[in-house]
């Protein structure tokens, strides 16, 4: 092992338009229009982001997962956010607060 990895993700700012994220040497604006689950979230929850497996962003307090590829090529990864889970979603253990349905496994070509 050559040393500890310095790759990480961090929130640089939260503005009225969205969240500025720095990850893997790049800066991204996650607009509230495109990423609505951040808009009314507590500031501490938005800042609590983790980079996992070098490409997976995870906000544990919000139960939100994003792949960096979806930020780099959003047209290939349509996102749908829902504010509440249906009874069938709850039955299989889905989050009631935020459910992220991402087509990450099936990107558009």
What is the pLDDT, as a whole number, of residue 54? 87
Q: Which residues neighbour 43 within 8 Å (Cβ) at sequence distance 6 or greater?
A: 14
Residue-by-residue DSSP string for 52-63: ETTTEEEETTTT
Query: What token pair was written down for 33?
Result: 């229009």
For residue range 66-107, list pLDDT tens digits in order: 999 999 888 887 755 445 555 544 444 444 333 344 434 344
- Residue 61 lies inside a defined structural domain of this protein: yes
- Residue 108 lies inside a defined structural domain of this protein: no
- Residue 1 lies inside a defined structural domain of this protein: no
- Residue 4 lies inside a defined structural domain of this protein: no
- Residue 93 lies inside a defined structural domain of this protein: yes
Confidence (pTM): 0.66
Domain count, the chain: 1
Query: What token pair was written down for 61?
Result: 């307090």
Least confident piece of the model among 37-46, 55-64, 73-82: 73-82
- Residue 58 lies inside a defined structural domain of this protein: yes
Residue 98 domain boundaries = 9-102
Least confident piece of the model among 3-7, 35-39, 96-100: 96-100
- Residue 3 lies inside a defined structural domain of this protein: no
Higher-confidence residue of 87 and 59: namely 59
- Residue 18 lies inside a defined structural domain of this protein: yes
């Amino acid at each position: 092992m050559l040393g500890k990895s310095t790759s990480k993700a961090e929130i640089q700012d939260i503005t009225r338009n969205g969240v500025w994220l720095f990850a893997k040497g790049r800066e991204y604006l996650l607009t509230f229009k495109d990423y609505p689950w951040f808009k009314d979230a507590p500031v501490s929850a938005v800042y609590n982001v983790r980079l996992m497996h070098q490409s997976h962003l995870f906000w544990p307090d919000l139960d939100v997962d994003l792949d960096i590829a979806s930020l780099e090529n959003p047209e290939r990864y349509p996102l749908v956010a829902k504010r509440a889970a249906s009874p069938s979603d709850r039955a299989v253990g889905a989050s009631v607060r935020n459910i992220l349905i991402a087509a990450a496994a099936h990107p558009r070509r």
